[in-house]
Amino acid sequence: MKMWWMVWLFACLSALATPPAGTAPIVGGERAFLYGGAAKGKWLDTATVQPMLTGGERYRLYSAARFLGIGTGSAAREDGGTSPCIALTLPAGVKDGEVVVGVSGAWNALPRVPKAQDLSQKTYQDVVRELLARKGLPGAPVRLKKLWRLDLEGDGVEEVLIEAATPRAGFGRETPYKRGDYSLVLLRKVVNGTARTIPLALSYYLHDASPDLPYHAPPIIHTLQGAFDLNGDGNMEVVIRSDATAERWDSVFEIHGATPKATALSGGDWI
């Protein structure tokens, strides 16, 4: 009887920890930070989802441009200074660093694929130039790093995502920032008939870093990771990675009209 009691208790505890029907855990990156999850159109934070994962959960894996296949995840664990993360078993053919997100839901999280555009387009270089001038950096040189066109909301109207950064030799996380340095991700969107420039992530520097600052203050660098429908509602959220001196973190934004909103999904670690 004692053995049967233990088996019954273990089964009950396992059932409580398993994600309930309609709850989709979401992970990010090949390191597989547990971002959190989605249930009935609502976002769930990491603390809510972590106890639900016992290992063996299956994830639909995506890069920014394609569906990669089905992977299997472990329970979520913290590793030193990191957010909870899982170990992913990847399907064949996935390249190193290719996984951007994994969704445990049954829907297609990449319903529309971004179309890379010519980075030399003056229209979008001017968009960046004008924003920097408004922030106090007139004349700052412009370098576009990514320029994607896609329909985020599934309404037949395409938006443009822009990643740009200082075209300075040595600009990066290992060097102090200088006046005029910047890193940004912008959304260019038509709202009520007018094209709007909407910052999603923006770091810019009006002065050189002081040598007295810790680590000599390298810039924060923002990288556009991808856009995905992470809760199955047909709208695509934008994933951005931000790298600082000794840490990196991923943020997920949903877009409603001209207003970006940070979701409860996030993950990061010390590097």
Spatial separation of the C-alpha atoms in residues 238 and 131, rounded to whole Å: 20
Taking the C-alpha atoms of residue 145 and residue 270, their distance in angstroms, rounded to an integer, is 25
Who wins on pLDDT, 123 or 245? 123
Percent of the chain at pLDDT exceeding 70: 90
Mean pLDDT of 42-46: 95
- Amino acid (1-letter code) at residue 125: Q
Query: Above 90 in pLDDT, residue 214?
Result: no
Instruction: Read off the pLDDT of residues 47-106 as tens digits, 9 standing for 90 and up.
Output: 999 999 999 999 999 999 999 999 999 999 987 667 899 999 999 999 888 999 999 999
For residue 236, the Cα-to-chain-centroid distance in whole angstroms is: 12
The pLDDT of residue 138 is 97
Burial code (b: 16+ CB inside 10 Å, e: under 16) for 35-47 equals bbbbbeeebbebe
46 membership: H or E segment, kind and range: helix 46-49
d(CA 31, CA 80): 14
What does the alpha-carbon distance between residue 73 and residue 97 come to, in Å, rounded to a whole number?
17
Give the pLDDT band of residue 20 (cuts 50, 70, 90). low
Report whether pLDDT(6) > 80.
no
Could you give the angle at the alpha carbon of 160 between the alpha carbons of 131 and 104, nearest 5°? 120
Which residue has 């909301």 as its token pair?
A: 153
Q: Which tops the pLDDT comparison, 242 or 95?
A: 242
Is 2 a residue whose pLDDT tops 70?
A: no
Ranking 48-57, 107-116, 140-149, 166-175 by mean pLDDT, the lowest is 166-175
Torsion of CA 127, 156, 61, 220, to 10 degrees: 20
H or E segment to which residue 47 belongs? helix 46-49
Winning range, highest mean pLDDT, from 13-22, 42-51, 70-79: 42-51
Which of 13-21's residues contact partners 24+ apart within 8 Å by CB, and which partners?
Answer: 14/54, 17/51, 17/52, 17/53, 17/54, 18/52, 18/54, 19/49, 19/52, 19/53, 19/57, 19/104, 20/52
Confidence (pLDDT) at 271? 64
Per residue in 120-137, pLDDT tens?
A: 999 999 999 999 999 999
